[in-house]
Amino acid sequence: MNWLLVIAGAAVGAPLRHLTDRAVQRRHDTVFPWGTFAVNVAGCLILGVLAGGVSYGAASHSVQLLVGTGLCGALTTYSTFSYETMRLAESGAKFFAAANVVASVVAGLGAILVGLTVAEALWA
């Protein structure tokens, strides 16, 4: 039964990732991978809220599987982040490659902290 929750979450997360990535990237005429950046930061925010919800007893194991593993697992993408960063570096856009790494890590951690804070405000 648990695997069905993961599949259901992924069935929503994967198309959401693709559609969000394309919509964001279409709005920005730059080599910086804003679409991947946006889905990864959004996934971190969702995981922060979920982690807080779990710690305050507001989210069950089933919700963790559905939202955390399924939805966020398919929504976020470390492989595309890595590929796009290497592509930027190889094409000579080393500043954008470094900015992608730094901004993704800082924004991702910040989004997790915001998510935890939101969870605390909602359920503590």
Q: Are 66 and 9 spatial neighbours (Cβ–Cβ below 8 Å)?
A: yes
| CB-side neighbour CA atoms (13 Å) of 12 | 13
Annotated binding residue at 76? yes
Query: Is 53 labelled as part of a ligand binding site?
Result: no
Q: State the burial class of residue 60 (Cβ atoms within 10 Å of its Cβ: 0-12, 13-18, 19+).
A: exposed
Residue list for the binding site:
73, 76
Residue list for the binding site for Na(+):
73, 76
